[in-house]
Amino acid sequence: MTKFNLIFLIILLYLLNVISSTSSYKNLLTLAFNANIATKGQFPFMVLVNGTCGGSLVTSSYVLTAAHCLTKFKMFVKIGEIERSSPHWIIRTVSKTLEYIDDRFAYSDIALLKLNESVRLSKEINVVQLPTKIINIDGLQLTTVGFGLTENRQIPNKLRYVDLQGIDLKKCQLIVNKYYPYTVLSSSHLCAIPNPD
């Protein structure tokens, strides 16, 4: 998998809804089935927002995350580690939040967090490379990364990732209609299924 494809997926996973087509479709939206444990430095842009949500470092001062992760309380971002329990995280507080939620749809659940102080970039802490163009993901190997619930509904201590295969919107719509007959996907959706083995 090319670095561009991985980065493209990570950004789109925050910006768009991910749909999967297995028999456990509903669970795959929130659970990391058959996930691999990440190694330190493998995903240097991944951060932990308020100890519960993932995010991507997009500059040395800004993090992209889901808007539903925002709270009215003081927020913090942990940077540079892959274990929740690690005492070695670099911690920054959030000085400003910019969110975009379109209440008419389940789309656009995104937010930018401005850190109170920028972080020093290194091999283990770096920004995600944003794509320069939109590509057709049908058939591409994609990777999703995070601290989401496991198949046992446990919160993992270590960062996990899983490889998926992108599918086009028309194929995805057929799959989604099996589970949600009245759901219509928009062009802003990204669809992925487990890699065929």
As a whole number of angstroms, the distance between CA 94 and CA 135 comes to 33
Which two structure tokens, joined as six digits, stand for 15? Answer: 């910006």
Q: Residue 193 pLDDT more than 50?
A: yes
pLDDT digits (tens, 9 = 90+) for 156-170: 899 999 899 999 999
Write phi, then psi, for 14 (nearest 5 degrees): -80, -35
What was the pLDDT predicted at 150?
Answer: 76
What was the pLDDT predicted at 161?
Answer: 92
What was the pLDDT predicted at 41?
Answer: 95
**Which distant-in-sequence residues (6+ apart) come within 8 Å of 136 by Cβ?**
168
| Global confidence as pTM | 0.78
What was the pLDDT predicted at 101?
Answer: 63
Q: Residue 192 pLDDT more than 50?
A: yes
pLDDT digits (tens, 9 = 90+) for 15-64: 333 333 333 333 344 445 678 999 999 999 999 999 889 999 999 999 99
pLDDT digits (tens, 9 = 90+) for 81-140: 999 999 999 999 999 998 776 665 555 778 999 999 999 999 999 999 877 887 888 999
Core vs surface per residue 27-52: b (16+ CB within 10 A) or e: ebeebbeebeebebeebbbbbbbbee
Q: What mean pLDDT comes out for the span 68-81?
A: 92
What was the pLDDT predicted at 114?
Answer: 97
Grade residue 176 by pLDDT with cuts at 50, 70 and 90: confident
What was the pLDDT predicted at 82?
Answer: 95
- Give the residue extent of every domain in the chain: 3-194
As a whole number of angstroms, the distance between CA 153 and CA 27 comes to 10
81: number of Cβ within 10 Å: 20
Write phi, then psi, for 3 (nearest 5 degrees): -60, -40
Q: Which class is 3-194 in CATH?
A: mainly beta
Q: What mean pLDDT comes out for the span 5-14?
A: 43
Number of residues that this document lists for the chain: 197
CA distances from 175 to 28, 107, 194 (A): 14, 19, 13
